[in-house]
Amino acid sequence: MKRLSKVEPEVKVAVKKIDGGLEVKGHLEELCIAEGAELTVVATEPVHMHVGPISLKVAGREAVVARGWADKVYVDKEGETIPLLRLEAGDKGTVKTIEGGEVFEANFAELGIEKGGEVEFLRHLPDDTVVFKIDDRELSMGEGQASKVLVEREGKNIQINYLEEGEKAKISKVIGGTSLREKFEQMGVAEGKEITLVRKEMPAPVPKRGTYVLAKIDEQLVTIGHGLAEKVWVE
């Protein structure tokens, strides 16, 4: 057996074992990767140095997309279907597929990202920590996690990332599955609550390079980060 991260392109393999706990296995199952699954490695490619979320322009407005979610979007750029994360600043593409089923399609639709729609890749965002206040207590979350919370401003829903420092707003929606909403509720982040953006804390720059595995399962393309690919044993 060998690790998925070591498999050469154009080689078809079967998953034999997955290291890690339930969270790792659950995340891989969302990508249809489980013991017994067969897949073909299409390529092993470098990721961008940045590890935070990305900013896109969609239908005339800006949207923040967590990196894990961006992995599920494939776009057509000049006749070639590629992962969204392969776009560079200023590149445009037409959304071809959104992996993860109807739930993820609905989540992306909240941000204006839908099949057939055009997106423009604006920039990688720093992996900031965003500090908010709810019910007189502070809580911190990453910019990608924060992008999944919508608040109402002037009759329109915006992501809480776009609040100004000190600005208050009412939470209108948490976009994500049941487990994500439950996690947010435990933090006090729930629909109808008032939330204030207190500040953003920029981390010290830590250049990172790595790779991801692009694989095909049946006719579906999936991207698997290097860390997860290291946990999958195939032969």
State the pLDDT at residue 205: 52
Q: Which residues pair with 169 in a beta bridge?
A: 195
Strands 168-174 and 149-153: antiparallel
How far apart are the C-alpha atoms of 23 and 45, rounded to whole Å?
25
Amino acid at 56: L
- The domain tally of the chain equals 3
At which of 124, 147, 172 does a domain end?
124
Global confidence as pTM: 0.66
97-111 pLDDT tens trace: 998 788 889 999 999
pLDDT per residue as tens digits for the range 6-47? 999 889 999 999 998 887 888 788 788 999 999 999 887 765
Nearest to 82 by CA among 177, 221, 233, 205: 221
Same domain, 72 and 27: no
**DSSP strand E in the chain: where?**
2-3, 12-18, 38-46, 54-58, 61-65, 73-77, 80-83, 92-98, 118-124, 129-134, 137-142, 149-153, 156-159, 168-174, 194-201, 211-217, 220-225, 232-234
Provide the CATH number for the domain around residue 22.
2.30.30.90
3 DSSP β-pair partners: 233
Residues paired with 212 in a beta bridge: 45, 225
| 148 and 110 co-located in one domain | no
Domain range for 92 is 54-124
Q: Are 147 and 94 members of one domain?
A: no
What are the structure tokens assigned to 128, written together? 């900031």
Examine the domain organization and report whether 59 and 25 are in the same domain.
no
Return the percentage of the chain with pLDDT > 70, whole number.
94
Instruction: State residue 119's pLDDT score.
Output: 97
